Amino acid sequence: MTNPRRIQDGLGFFGTFLGKPGSVGAVLPSTRYLARALVGRLEMQPGELVVEYGPGTGPMTTVVRELLPKTARYLGVELEPKFHELLTRRFPQMDFHLGNAADIVQILAARGLPRPQRILSGLPFASLPAKVQDAVVDGIVECLGEGGDFRTFQYMHAYGMKSARRFRALMAERFANFERIGPVIRNLPPAFVLRYWGARRAIR
Ligand SMILES: C[S@@+](CC[C@H](N)C(=O)[O-])C[C@H]1O[C@@H](n2cnc3c(N)ncnc32)[C@H](O)[C@@H]1O
């Protein structure tokens, strides 16, 4: 991303943070270094789906656009109308849903999309209320495809916070496997990438 765009995004992002600190949860967009660590390798088969929660101004989306095979599919789910509008303008060949990541099961069904093989999340779990954390995690476990994984990040300085620990405890109950990557220090603030796979779905 060019510097003027980074500055423009940074200012717009900060303005939105001031209005909605809880749901935006960061003062600046992520850097390319964190985005690359979060996205990882994208070896998707034709028709397979990648979902991104909370793309914001699109730093992770930029990396997905570079790495995702043309035959695979992408859906971004963004709650903030200003970011949603910017994303649809900036990435015209990608799909974005204006709405809540907690509603992922209904969103996928309404769009006729398959279970995602990867869910990438920029959601600020540590600053989300417990009820919202629970609803989003339920949705992830419910919809993730067989063999698929979920990736998110947590800032180093907030890693020990009660709500951050709560989120990880919840994920540990719902997933068989966990990997922590980093810290990625070339991000402001530095952050860990968390990867979960082997969802424990309730047997119905
Ligand atoms: C910490 S920012 C991350 C933005 C971007 N991914 C990045 O790394 O720079 C969190 C983003 O999640 C969005 N968000 C918060 N709660 C959400 C929800 N329940 N569903 C979808 N998006 C949400 C915010 O509007 C914001 O764009």
**The predicted structure's pLDDT at residue 12:** 72
Q: What is the mean pLDDT of residues 83-98?
A: 97
Cα(120) to centroid(ligand 1), Å: 11
Residue listed under structure tokens 């919840």: 170
Cα(204) to centroid(ligand 1), Å: 32
Three-point CA angle 165, 76, 139, nearest 5°: 50
To the nearest whole number, what is the mean pLDDT of the chain?
Answer: 92
At residue 106, what are phi and psi to the nearest 5 degrees? -70, -35
Q: At residue 66, does pLDDT exceed 70?
A: yes
Residue 1 burial by CB count (10 A; 0-12/13-18/19+): exposed, middle or buried? Answer: middle
Please state the atom number of ligand 1 nearest to the C-alpha of residue 20.
25
At residue 77, what are phi and psi to the nearest 5 degrees? -120, 115
Q: What is the mean pLDDT of residues 104-108?
A: 98
User: CB of 154 closer than 6 A to ligand 1?
Assistant: no
Looking at domain 3-19+31-39+46-117+127-199, its CATH class is: alpha beta
**The predicted structure's pLDDT at residue 104:** 98
pLDDT band at 107 (very low <50, low <70, confident <90, very high): very high
pLDDT tens digit sequence for 22-41: 666 676 899 999 999 999 99
Query: Which residues have a Cβ under 8 Å from the Cβ of 15 and sit 6 or more positions away?
Result: none
With beta carbons less than 8 A apart as the criterion, state whether 117 and 143 touch.
no
Please state the atom number of ligand 1 nearest to the C-alpha of residue 153.
8
Query: pTM for this one?
Result: 0.93
Cα(63) to centroid(ligand 1), Å: 16
pLDDT tens digit sequence for 8-17: 777 776 677 6
- Segment of 19-23, 48-52, 125-129 carrying the highest mean pLDDT: 48-52
Q: At residue 204, does pLDDT exceed 60?
A: no
Residue listed under structure tokens 């966990």: 178
**The predicted structure's pLDDT at residue 202:** 67
Q: At residue 67, does pLDDT exceed 90?
A: yes
